[in-house]
Amino acid sequence: MKCDKCAKPATFHITDIIEKGKHRESHLCEEHARIHLSPTDETLDPPAISEIAKKLAQSVGAQSARSSASAADTIACPMCQITYLEFRNTGRLGCPHDYEVFRDELMPLLENIHGEPRHSGKVPRRAPRNTRQQTTLIQLRNELKRAIAAEDYEAAARLRDRIKGIELEQGR
């Protein structure tokens, strides 16, 4: 396809929206596209340009201040040694302990993303309703194993019954 203004090949295909529902397509070479896309004195008045430049400079200044290293960036997890700066760059935490180590930095981030710091969505059907009950179940199962290993079958039967009662209560 050739340029609308000259015989050179058109490398830019520009669609200008004139009004709602109306548009004009232009097929231009690089030179004519540069002329077409550069603002003219008619389209922008100098006060508007200076106002836009000020706002742009302020936003760039604010962004560079945000991107500078903070004290939180140097905090590292004692377990996996990942720093908060590494998390910010990769978007991935290294281990479950990072949620506690970076708690002060993660809470505002999670609130911003999800709207609140607590999970309010669906929960798996088989998930425990009460973490305290789940902890109790784990402890009882460990005691049951110990009772069986010690051949204390009466205690094992009592533990088995307590485990079954908790599981029935949870709906398993």
Tell me if 3 sits within 8 A of 32, measured CB to CB: yes
Q: What are phi and psi of 131, to 5 degrees?
A: -65, -30
> Which two structure tokens, joined as six digits, stand for 103?
């708690």
Mean per-residue pLDDT, 7-36: 83
36-49 confidence digits (pLDDT tens): 877 654 544 555 55
| pLDDT above 50: residue 65 | no
CA-based nearest residue to 95, from 85, 107, 108, 81: 81
Domain boundaries, the chain: 1-38, 71-114, 131-170
- CB contact at 8 A, 160 and 144: yes
What is the average pLDDT across 63-89?
A: 75
Give SS3 for 12: strand
**pTM for this structure?**
0.34
